[in-house]
Amino acid sequence: MDNLEQFERIKQEAEDYYKTVNAVFCPYLKSKVNFNAKGLDHIKMKSWNKARLISDQYLRLKFFKLVPEVLKVAGTLQEFHETKNFERIKDTGRWQSIMKPVVYYGFVAIINNVKIKIIVKRIEGGQPYFWSVIPFWKNQKDEICQKIKKVFYEGDLETQ
């Protein structure tokens, strides 16, 4: 199986699984976190109408299945960010960009020997929803090619 076939398989599996996850209760937020199209779009797109690199999409899609498990037990917040963003909102049948207060919550976990960060987004007046999953890595210099490569936190932490 080549890389593109593997990517398409992981993508299809993740999209199928994403459709089965409606919402999960997050103990830290004391509310349900919804899984809507915005989260799935953000995994595949950097911004509206601009796709992420296939390698980036692949990693996020590959680890998505861990997200609901982590959110169900998240009792501690690791990151918090408040800002104002232009958000695309459909109003009277038209899409508009409106400046809204936004809060991002970051939850870091090691699950199944994989370290990931999950971002939950809440726009003022709305419910929190899944926004992103980010695999953790460290940069390591390859002595042979003299290039920096990403080494993902997966498996035995003793050797990381």
* Confidence check: pLDDT of 160 > 60: no
- DSSP-assigned letter for residue 154: B
50 — pLDDT class (breaks 50, 70, 90): confident
Q: How do residues 63-97 score in pLDDT, each as one tens digit? A: 999 999 999 999 999 999 999 999 888 888 898 88
Specify the pTM: 0.81
151 — pLDDT class (breaks 50, 70, 90): low
* 118-122, 126-130, 148-152: range with lowest mean pLDDT: 148-152
SS3 44: helix
Average pLDDT over residues 42-55: 86
Give the range of the structural domain holding residue 105, as residue numbers without chain letter: 3-159
Find, among 110, 158, 100, 98, the residue nearest to 135 by Cα.
110
Could you tell me how far CA 68 lies from the centroid of its own chain? Answer: 11
> Residue 124's pLDDT is what?
93
Residue 17 near residue 62, CB atoms below 8 Å? no
Q: Residues of the chain with pLDDT > 90: what percent?
A: 57
* 36-40, 43-47, 144-148: range with lowest mean pLDDT: 144-148
* Confidence check: pLDDT of 8 > 60: yes
> Residue 156's pLDDT is what?
43
Number of domains the chain contains: 1
The residue with greater pLDDT, 14 or 159, is 14
DSSP E strands, the chain: 23-26, 31-34, 45-47, 50-51, 79-91, 94-111, 114-123, 129-135, 137-142, 147-152
Q: What is each CA distance from 132 to 48, 57, 96, 124, 148, in whole angstroms?
A: 15, 11, 23, 18, 25
* Confidence check: pLDDT of 56 > 90: no
